[in-house]
Amino acid sequence: MKVLKKLRDGYVIRHANGIKLPQFPSVNRIRKRIVFSGRVQKVGFRLELFCIAERLNLTGWVKNLEDGSVEAELQGEESKIQFLVDCMQSLKRASVKKVNIIDVPISEDEESFKIVR
């Protein structure tokens, strides 16, 4: 099992790092809480989201929920957050059926993005 996870994680990281990032306008920071529902666990979804969020210089966190969905809080420019959501919805190895997005207050002292276990 560990060998398969290591192979999958390597694939996920290569895929996330291969996504071409567009230029984004610099605007005010916002924070969104996003819940992805569908087949989003055990497919490297959190790792992919983490890698892309780091490349976009977003802060926040991502975690699995007990109901099989994945929840994230993303903070940064709105266009970058929307780009990340679009990337996650288009993942071939996952099947995002529903995305619920709400505005939440900015976390001023947050400096990084993390995967919550």
The residues, any chain, with a CB within 8 Å of residue 7's CB and separated by 6 or more, are none
- The full DSSP string for 45-97 is HHHHHHHHHHHTT-EEEEEE-TTS-EEEEEEEEHHHHHHHHHHHHT-SSSEEE
**Known catalytic membership, residue 55:** no
Q: Tokens 């995305």 label which residue?
A: 99
* Active-site residue, 46 included: yes
Of 8, 29, 55, 64, the active-site residue reads 64
Q: What amino acid positions are annotated as catalytic residues?
A: 46, 64
